[in-house]
Structure 1
Amino acid sequence: MSVLRATLTSFDPDTMHQPANAVRVDVVENESELPMHRHSKGQLVVALRGGVTCEVSDGLWMVPPQCGVWVPGGMLHSNRVTANGRLCFLYVDPAAAALPQTCCTLSLTPLLIELIQRLAALPQVYDVVGPTGRLASVLLDELTQMKTERLHLPISSDAKLRHIANALTTDPADRSTAAEWGARVAMSERTLTRLVLRETGMSFGRWRQQLHIIIALQRLSEGALVQRVAEDLGYESVSAFITMFKKALGKPPARYFSDKDDGTDA
């Protein structure tokens, strides 16, 4: 059994009566969390090194370094971690803090990340009015102030749309048109375009670009060069890729990650 699976199998957050608990995991190689599962406590997945992709019923959420994905209690989810990743799971009692009721990616401050790591290093069972309880209280106050990031790929239970998403994830450089994708899944271009808009709220082209952003962040967080990522995503030039990245996230790749490293708001 992998380190990640063993850790999550041996720890059941719903047996804890504290307002917040944290667990740190170091991943040696590519591996995924336990299959789709749920727990009553909310979960924040924090990427300390490498990247994490969280899948829920209606979307994929990317967690680059210095960010976290919030999964409300009771929501089915599963996570995939990049090679040699390091992450923390923070579990929060629904009554302990006013946190989002939907899945979202949060930009985390260095202070909050340090608080989560500190809590993960302490015993899981603690006195809520003692030192660890006070630390958890400050942590939750900080968590409620975090801003969201646009790192979500909306998908749905529609089998054909999931097939296209899986195919594009496997080969993101595929530049087939909506008409060509429609033919592959036995749909007209117009029907496919309507399906994507109805299920995701995006045009087909915008939806595919969002997938490119998620894949780019994952690969860049692993240390891949911008030029290599641009090639892997099928861009004709590095400048074209950087332009797309800046338009989507407000900053070019180098600036985006340097700001994450020094704690500047993204």
Structure 2
Amino acid sequence: MTDTALLDADLAEWGHDPHTHEEHQFLYVPLGRIVVTAEGAEHVIEGASGLWMPAGVEHSARFGPDALVIAEEFDAGENRLPYRAATAVEMTPLARRRLLARARSGDEGLGCPELFATLAALRGSRLPLPEPQSRIPRAVARELTVQPADPRTAAEWASVFFTSSTSLRRAFRSETGLAFTEWRTRLRLNLSLDLLAKGNLVGAVAARVGFTSANGYILAFRRHFGETPGAYLARHCPGGPFDVQLQDS
């Protein structure tokens, strides 16, 4: 079964059809997981990450059977959001505490300025990537961080550490919330951002982080970030050296 099929199997047959909000919305899932689709990109949201949905962006959602979703809305006229597209961000302990405290209080009004400031400051330039905690998955993760282009499969990594591929895959899923291949893809994409910002061509970046083709890299980048590498960097780092070198559209 593919990783996408495994993810689909974890999701209940319920959610929201495509729609928009007049307010900015922040989604956090302290229990379970949801998948939000916006502008052709899928965002898997669970405990280690949150999602900003700017006002007016059409999106749909699928929810896991045990998903607990916290949705905070902020007036778009009073709160300036640093994102124009749906953006996944890494949660911090402070952000989690404030969201959970507000949920426990039962306050259903538009989010307060202090909460907006906390959430708007979360880092969105990288994909959320929880680190495995047990010995073997952590060792594999460290090896891949140094050599992201290493092509070995989960089964091949498992043989290196004298364990089963099933155990290794299960450990990645339980400790990071991500399948092994999805974790590796996110690592490669995160590492590619610095290479792109230094002016490297897309094809060279794709090869250095482990993609077999530039097209495959661009498709993965668009799926996870919602835009091409060139568009992403033009938005986050305008005027950088990549402006005249990227050929990705």
- Please report the TM-score for the alignment, with normalisation by the length of structure 1: 0.45
Greater relative CO (CA pairs within 8 A, separation 6+):
1
